[in-house]
Amino acid sequence: MKQPTAETYEEEMSYIPYKESLKQVTEIICSQTPANGSLLDLMCGPGHLLGKISERREDLFLQGVDLDRDYVDHATKKYSRVGFEVGDILSWAPRHKFDAVMCTGALHHVHYDKQADAVERMSSMVKQDGFVLISDCYIDDYSNETERKIAAAKLGYEYVLAAINNGAPRQIIEALTDILCNDVVMDEFKTSIDKRSPIFNKFFSKVQTHRTWPSESSGYGDYITILRK
């Protein structure tokens, strides 16, 4: 599965509903990470979020890890205050534990069978009194493969529709259409919040989740979860 370029990836954030999640994630991280603390961003993509956080919290030690070398190279050149390296969330080993660990809009890239392993690894990388923040896009709950495909198509359609209404250029629409296809054919692994929550509860004693989009009650949408031991 071909990933969008770093430039397209960052430009997408101006047009899709997930920009609200990133705004709230930035506020949570900047307000709750202790002074002179450390933050790890797993599956950080091209580093846009860490770049924004570095502008507001110059005191923090910031580390980004992503499997895509092109994204890491882009991030390293663009965000000089942040440390980036290539690594797989399922095997990368940190040299120390962090006050905060985040994974934003990315856990659905991990296969369903390995998502619990990824969450467990996050729990092992955070300090006892720290927190993990996971934000992701979720589909409606489902009980069979047909329902999963329909739910994935629904979320993808709503994202494309929102981007069109926000005036997104052609390359962004094309990228979002590719994501819709990837979700339906299971090249990406979006799930429902109902299926993801038991994983959170398995490794953390305190789990707080809220939806950032859409504003009306729904199963699908963008959610932020803060986890503590």
Among residues 86, 139, 136, 89, the alpha carbon closest in space to that of 108 is found at 136
Would 174 be classed as within a structural domain?
Answer: no
CATH number for the domain harbouring residue 28: 3.40.50.150
Q: pLDDT tens, 78-107? A: 999 999 999 999 999 999 999 999 999 999
Would 109 be classed as within a structural domain?
Answer: yes
Whole-structure pTM value: 0.95
Q: How many domains does the chain have?
A: 1
Q: pLDDT tens, 176-220? A: 999 999 999 999 999 999 999 999 999 999 999 999 999 888 899
Would 149 be classed as within a structural domain?
Answer: no
Would 183 be classed as within a structural domain?
Answer: no
pLDDT score, position 133: 98
Whether pLDDT at 1 is above 80: no
Would 217 be classed as within a structural domain?
Answer: yes
Residues 40 and 42: their CA atoms lie apart, in Å, by 6
Would 60 be classed as within a structural domain?
Answer: yes
**24 close to 41: Cβ distance less than 8 angstroms:** no
**212 close to 222: Cβ distance less than 8 angstroms:** yes
Would 86 be classed as within a structural domain?
Answer: yes
Q: Which range of residues forms the domain containing residue 57?
A: 18-144+188-228
The neighbouring-strand residues paired with 143 are none
Would 151 be classed as within a structural domain?
Answer: no
